[in-house]
């Protein structure tokens, strides 16, 4: 037997898990401030449901973990939280009142190649709304992004674009409708390519030079320039895209968060998933190059998934928990492994130590006890290594005097605390 993790799956040590819990706790509290409700969906799904929205050549089908149960049913492990959410709405639509706002932080699985940023088992964090078609909800989600990252002390820039506008500009350049999706894939890379390389990529689609030149020009225009350039256009997608972005930017201005926003006309967020405005979040100071969050409007997915004749407009965002962890892991506030507030070292007073620890815990503090009869010096060394700030040495004299000394391990100071006035210990925290 080889004792090891499956490739692409990891153990998280207490210090690491402490940071992960901290991130999740801040995100959960922020989501709930905005009225989002927690849900949980099953890891196990019917394979046909997971695969149903893709054609047989799509790469995602190769990454679904497939299995069967004792009843020979074809099952799979979920690869994201969106398809299970669509299923959740379909099953529970008669119990839910729209609009419905949810969040879920849970494990997903992908049987793909393992490399930096791509694991086989990882945690996703999604926030979604079903039942609101206007841009007010998009502005709220962007405001949620700003507030959540502010709480995490991460400066961010949020790129915003419209898939409608993007598609309209491509069609306006004379590109045929069947080439819009592959053209979007290339345009999404415009910032990473030289102009010559960008044009070369577009030529692989057999586009005319006039179309290529128009695309080069369109996707470098500011939002104000796009409005001016296309003020008289009869291209419906351009008009709708500009109108929806205008509405969103007006809400963002009113919220006072415009300094965090960057209009990015080449931002696509995938090929066919999104139907309207899209967003992507980046660390503002270049500490990480990749996105740490992203999302947008996807009005067709749940509507088509349920297929009951009703419209289910939807918009959602996600948080890149692995990237957020990378930004936080070296901070001084997380240098200590322990989360213990006070460590009690009993000197033949174990029963009294257990009783004292219980009483201090009732005050809301986290307490641990030395239970292996280590010498005091070794116990204090342990506290120093674990970063435990306060220690109580509890001997017979302390029991007799009905008081103990609370020792600060950082500066060596001590304060006498009476058993009868135990609440005074809270002044240290």
pLDDT higher than 80, residue 270: no
Report strand pairing: 74-77 vs 66-68: antiparallel
In a domain, 171, yes or no: yes
In a domain, 227, yes or no: yes
**In this structure, what CATH number is given to the domain that contains residue 408?**
3.40.50.800
Q: Are residues 286 and 362 in the same domain?
A: no
Average pLDDT in the chain: 94
pLDDT at 214: 96
pLDDT band at 1 (very low <50, low <70, confident <90, very high): confident
Q: Where are the beta strands (DSSP E) in 42-174?
A: 44-46, 66-68, 74-77, 100-109, 121-130, 156-162
Cβ atoms within 10 Å of 265's Cβ, excluding its own: 23
Domain span holding position 352:
339-428
Which tokens is 115 given?
Answer: 């490399």
Q: Are residues 101 and 39 in the same domain?
A: yes
The sheet with strand 66-68 has its strands ordered as: 44-46, 74-77, 66-68
Q: What is the tens place of the pLDDT at every residue in 246-263?
A: 999 999 999 999 999 999
Q: Are residues 236 and 100 in the same domain?
A: yes
Q: What is the tens place of the pLDDT at every residue in 344-387?
A: 999 999 999 999 999 999 999 999 999 999 999 999 999 999 99
When comparing pLDDT for 15 and 360, which is higher? Answer: 360
Q: Which has the closest alpha carbon to 402: 414, 420, 426?
A: 420
Looking at the DSSP assignment, which residues form a beta bridge with residue 343? 368, 391
Which tokens is 12 given?
Answer: 């998280």
In a domain, 6, yes or no: no
State the Cα–Cα distance between residues 89 and 126, nearest whole angstrom: 15
Q: Are residues 260 and 344 in the same domain?
A: no
What average pLDDT does range 212-232 have in this prediction? 96
Q: Are residues 126 and 18 in the same domain?
A: yes
Which tokens is 69 given?
Answer: 């149960």
From 308, 328, 348, the end of a domain falls on 328
From 328, 357, 378, the end of a domain falls on 328
pLDDT at 57: 62
Q: Kindly report the CA angle at 282 between 276 and 285, in degrees rounded to 5?
A: 150
Q: Are residues 263 and 387 in the same domain?
A: no
State the Cα–Cα distance between residues 115 and 208, nearest whole angstrom: 38
Question: Omega of the bond prior to 130 within 30 degrees of 0, cis?
Answer: no
In a domain, 8, yes or no: no
Report CA-CA distances (Å) from 145 to 153, 288, 305, 367. 12, 17, 28, 35
In a domain, 236, yes or no: yes
The helices-and-strands tally (H runs, E runs) of the chain is 16, 16
Q: Are residues 344 and 290 in the same domain?
A: no
Q: What is the tens place of the pLDDT at every residue in 18-42?
A: 999 999 999 999 999 999 999 999 9
Chain centroid to CA 321: 5
**In this structure, what CATH number is given to the domain that contains residue 114?**
3.30.930.10
pLDDT higher than 80, residue 4: yes
pLDDT at 337: 78
Structural domain count of the chain: 2
In a domain, 321, yes or no: yes
Which tokens is 407 given?
Answer: 């020792």
174 SS3 class:
coil
pTM value? Answer: 0.90
In a domain, 197, yes or no: yes
Q: What is the tens place of the pLDDT at every residue in 125-137?
A: 999 999 999 999 9
Q: Are residues 347 and 322 in the same domain?
A: no
From 309, 328, 347, the end of a domain falls on 328
Q: Are residues 269 and 205 in the same domain?
A: yes
Q: Under a CB-based contact definition with an 8 Å cutoff, are residues 18 and 109 in contact?
A: no
Four-point Cα dihedral 119, 268, 80, 146, nearest 10 = 90
């Amino acid at each position: 037997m080889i004792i090891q993790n499956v490739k692409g799956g990891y153990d998280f040590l207490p210090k690491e898990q402490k940071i992960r819990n901290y991130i999740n706790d801040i995100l959960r509290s922020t989501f709930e401030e905005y009225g989002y409700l927690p849900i949980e969906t099953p890891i196990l799904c019917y394979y046909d449901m997971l695969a149903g929205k893709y054609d047989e050549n799509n790469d995602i089908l190769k990454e679904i973990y497939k299995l069967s149960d004792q009843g020979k049913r074809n099952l799979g492990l979920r690869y994201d939280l969106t398809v299970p959410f669509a299923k959740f709405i379909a099953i529970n639509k008669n119990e839910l009142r729209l609009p419905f706002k949810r969040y879920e932080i849970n494990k997903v699985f992908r049987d793909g190649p393992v490399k930096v940023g791509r694991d086989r088992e990882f945690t996703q964090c999604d926030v979604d709304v079903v039942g609101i078609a206007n841009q007010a909800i998009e502005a709220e989600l962007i405001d949620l992004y700003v507030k959540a990252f502010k709480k995490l002390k991460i400066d961010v820039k949020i790129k915003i674009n419209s898939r409608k506008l993007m598609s309209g500009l491509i069609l306006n350049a004379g590109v045929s409708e069947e080439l819009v999706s592959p053209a979007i894939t290339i345009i999404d890379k415009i910032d990473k390519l030289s102009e010559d390389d960008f044009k070369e990529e577009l030529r692989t689609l057999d586009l005319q030079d006039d179309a290529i030149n128009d695309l080069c020009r369109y996707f470098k225009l500011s939002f104000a320039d796009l409005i001016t350039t296309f003020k008289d256009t009869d291209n419906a997608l351009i008009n709708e895209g500009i109108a929806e972005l205008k509405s969103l930017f007006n809400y963002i201005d009113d919220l006072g968060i415009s300094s965090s926003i960057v209009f990015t006309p080449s931002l696509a967020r995938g090929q066919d998933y999104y139907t309207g405005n899209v967003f992507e979040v980046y660390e503002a100071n270049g500490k990480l190059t990749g996105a740490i969050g992203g999302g947008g409007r996807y009005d067709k997915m749940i509507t088509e998934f349920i297929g009951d004749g009703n419209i289910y407009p939807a918009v959602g965002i996600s948080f890149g928990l692995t990237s957020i962890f990378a930004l936080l892991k070296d901070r001084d506030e997380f240098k200590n492994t322990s989360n213990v507030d006070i460590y009690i070292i009993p000197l033949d007073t174990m029963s009294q130590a257990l009783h004292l620890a219980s009483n201090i815990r009732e005050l809301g503090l986290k307490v641990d006890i030395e239970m292996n009869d280590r010498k005091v010096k070794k116990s204090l060394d342990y506290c120093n290594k674990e970063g435990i700030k306060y220690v109580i040495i509890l001997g017979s004299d302390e029991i007799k005097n009905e008081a103990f000394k609370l020792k600060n391990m950082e500066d060596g100071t001590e304060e006498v605390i009476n058993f009868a006035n135990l609440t005074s210990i809270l002044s240290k925290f």
